[in-house]
């Protein structure tokens, strides 16, 4: 076998053989530009599937870093990523480049907010939801409806998964179905746990809808026009019609894009799991210098992407743009004062 180079022209042959894709469909996949917002469990699975399927340009946006508790379900990451606390967007790009070097993959270590959504989603023809919170989903929905970009909502918690295709101008949008953040969905992976199989099922469905959208466009008859939910543990399954927008919907009816305008958005947000995120922009941080300075106050470690500082009972993770995630408290005032004391006010 030595010297025999593998035949890469065969790479997608099994997918091209599938009637729904074919050679033409494969070309469309190669030309597609897809953004994945959030690269935790669902985002990892989506990115892995679509990268292997040959989606030509993937943009992965994530604000977080890899931790040991992620590895049970976040399929793009490994133990080394967790040891290095690598930002998920960076670790995901590395993994995808290893598994398919013929596509473009871009990682953005950022929190998607009204101020940067235009820049981060510009050029993407399709947006996939890999987030874990309704605040970001409503923001994506406002952007997608306003710009008429299709997007796929996906969520998983416990053994439960739910997904919806949003085709602006055709189907119901997220705000049609959930005018307000649904109360019953406030449980999170931190409080209810999560099965990796529920994640993979919801990601498989959403990735398949993505293939249909890219290959057949928003009029593709095979596209699902329902909110589909299932519980893998109880075997419950439900579908709610979503083929038509709800009259009077704030977003797609009245075109009142309050989330895009950033209304009611706090400067500091809680991001679950006993932690506070501090958004600080225009504060580029010199990790080497800060590492030296913090040495006297606690354990500190950094690489090119994150600086971690431990001061009992807190753990602070800083990104080069000044954003921080402070673990060990949900008190915004405490987090603020720690940030001011050790990073700057």
Chain positions contacting Zn ion, by CB under 5 A: 173, 175-176, 245, 249, 251-252
Please, which residue, 241 or 288, has the CB nearer to Zn ion? 241
CB of 147 to Zn ion, least distance (A): 14
Q: How far is the CB of 153 from Zn ion (least distance, A)?
A: 12
Min dist. Cβ of residue 145 to Zn ion (A) = 7
Cα angle 57, 42, 47 (rounded to 5 degrees) comes to: 20
Mutual angle of helices 41-53 and 88-99, in 10-degree steps: 30
Residue keyed to tokens 């917002």: 37
Q: Which two tokens stand for residue 324?
A: 């921080």
Q: Is the peptide bond before 313 cis (omega within 30 degrees of 0)?
A: yes
Which alpha helices (H) appear in the chain, and where do they start and end? 13-16, 22-31, 41-53, 79-83, 88-99, 117-121, 134-147, 174-177, 189-192, 196-216, 287-294, 332-342
From the candidates 39, 173, 176, 189, give the one annotated as an active-site residue. Answer: 189
Which C-beta is closer to Zn ion: that of 224 or that of 302? 224
d(CA 221, CA 39): 29
Which of 196, 163, 160, 162 has its CA nearest to residue 40? 196
Measured from the CB atom, the residue of 55 and 227 that comes closer to Zn ion is 227
Active site residue 189: yes
> Residue 141 Cβ, how far from Zn ion at the closest point, in Å?
8
Residue 330's CB is within 10 A of a number of other CB atoms, namely 15
Q: What token pair was written down for 223?
A: 């596209």
Q: What is the CA radius of gyration of the chain?
A: 21
**CB of 307: closest distance to Zn ion in angstroms?**
42
Q: Which is nearer to Zn ion, 211 or 252 (CB)?
A: 252
Nearer Cβ to Zn ion, position 42 or 175?
175
In 3D, which of 123, 112, 125 has the Cα closest to residue 50? Answer: 125
Q: Apex CA 308: angle with CA 139 and CA 97, to 5°? A: 65
Contact 157, 189 (CB under 8 A): yes
Q: Residue 179 Cβ, how far from Zn ion at the closest point, in Å?
A: 9
Quick one: 177 or 207, whose CB is closer to Zn ion?
177
Catalytic residues: 189
């Amino acid at each position: 076998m030595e010297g025999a180079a593998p035949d890469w022209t065969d790479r997608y042959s099994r997918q091209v053989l599938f009637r729904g894709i074919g050679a033409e469909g494969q070309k469309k996949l190669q030309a597609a530009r897809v953004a994945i917002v959030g690269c935790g469990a669902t985002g990892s699975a989506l990115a892995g599937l679509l990268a292997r399927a040959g989606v030509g340009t993937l943009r992965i946006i994530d604000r977080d870093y890899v931790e040991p508790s992620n590895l049970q379900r976040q399929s793009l990451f490994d133990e080394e990523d967790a040891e290095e606390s690598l930002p998920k967007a960076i670790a995901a790009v590395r993994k995808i480049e290893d598994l398919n070097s013929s596509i473009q993959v871009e990682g953005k270590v950022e929190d998607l907010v009204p101020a940067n959504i235009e820049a981060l989603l510009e050029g993407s023809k399709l947006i996939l939801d890999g987030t874990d919170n309704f605040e970001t989903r409503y923001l994506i929905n406002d952007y997608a409806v306003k710009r008429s970009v299709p997007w796929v909502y996906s969520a998983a918690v416990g053994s439960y998964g739910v997904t919806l295709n949003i085709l602006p101008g055709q189907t119901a949008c997220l705000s049609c179905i959930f005018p307000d953040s649904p109360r019953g969905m406030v449980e999170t992976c931190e409080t209810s746990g999560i099965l990796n199989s529920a994640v993979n099922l919801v990601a498989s469905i959403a990735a398949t809808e993505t293939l249909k959208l890219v290959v057949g466009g928003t009029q593709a008859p095979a596209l699902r026009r329902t909110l589909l939910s299932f519980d893998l543990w109880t075997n419950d399954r439900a579908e709610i019609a979503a083929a038509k927008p709800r009259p009077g919907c704030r977003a797609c009816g009245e075109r009142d894009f309050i989330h895009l305008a950033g209304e009611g958005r706090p400067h500091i947000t809680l991001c679950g799991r006993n932690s506070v995120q501090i958004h600080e922009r225009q504060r580029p941080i010199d990790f080497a210098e800060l590492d030296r300075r913090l040495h006297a106050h606690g354990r500190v470690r950094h690489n090119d992407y994150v600086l971690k500082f431990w001061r009992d009972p807190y753990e602070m993770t800083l990104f080069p743009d000044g954003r921080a995630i402070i673990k060990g408290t949900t008190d915004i005032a405490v987090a603020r004062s720690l940030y001011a004391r050790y990073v700057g006010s």
